[in-house]
Amino acid sequence: MQENTETWTTWATCLNPEEDKMPGEWEETLSDFQKNIMLKVFRPEKLMFAFKNYVRTHMGSYFTDSQPITMENIYADTDNLTPLIFILSTGADPTEQLYKFAKERGFLERLGTISLGQGQTQKALNLIADSCKNGDWVLLQNCHLSSEFMPHLE
């Protein structure tokens, strides 16, 4: 009995139990879905990784791997009534890609940029209004710094 406990403890405390084989005959006995249930019991924090592996195995990597995104692809999904909004994680900044894309499209001179913060709401609203009239582009940066502006953006 002690041997079995040690085997399960080793599996349950390993770095990546969602990738390691289950102890004893359980690797062959349980289905992939049942293994995920066991993982939830022992290591619930690893379940999301296990689900990703499960979907990749049973449905294909198309559903789990990030697809490459280009400004051309994104632009194709926009129009004058559908803005492009980036919600960024720390360290991500598509500004250079946008400038390059605007230059390629002949819009660099027609791209207005404003970094929001205290006192920038009216300037941003004016820039948007002018751009709507002229068909220009607007890059609003740091919108989260201006709680006054956010209702206007919505």
Query: Are 42 and 77 contained in the same domain?
Result: no
Q: How many domains, in total, are found in the chain?
A: 2
Minimum mean pLDDT range among 55-59, 68-72, 80-84, 117-121? 80-84
Give residue-wise pLDDT tens across range 94-146: 899 999 999 999 999 999 999 988 888 899 999 999 988 888 999 998 888 88
For residues 67-97, one letter each, b for 16 or more C-beta atoms within 10 angstroms of the residue's C-beta and e for the rest, the string is eeeebeeeeeeeeeeeeeeeeeeeeeeeeee
Query: Are 78 and 12 contained in the same domain?
Result: no
3-state helix, strand and coil shares in percent for the chain, rounded to the nearest 5? 55, 10, 35
Query: Are 103 and 50 contained in the same domain?
Result: no
- H/E stretch holding 133 reads helix 121-134
Domain boundary among 36, 63, 90: 63
Q: Residue 57 — very low, low, confident or very high, per pLDDT cuts 50/70/90?
A: very high
Query: Are 47 and 82 contained in the same domain?
Result: no
Q: What pLDDT, on a 0 to 100 scale, did the predictor assign at position 143?
A: 84
Print the domain residue range for 32. 2-63
Alpha-carbon distance of 139 to 152, in angstroms, equals 15
Domain boundary among 29, 63, 97: 63
Query: Are 57 and 77 contained in the same domain?
Result: no
Q: What pLDDT, on a 0 to 100 scale, did the predictor assign at position 92?
A: 81
Residue linked to tokens 């999301």: 48
Q: Is 32 within 8 Å of 55 (Cβ atoms)?
A: no
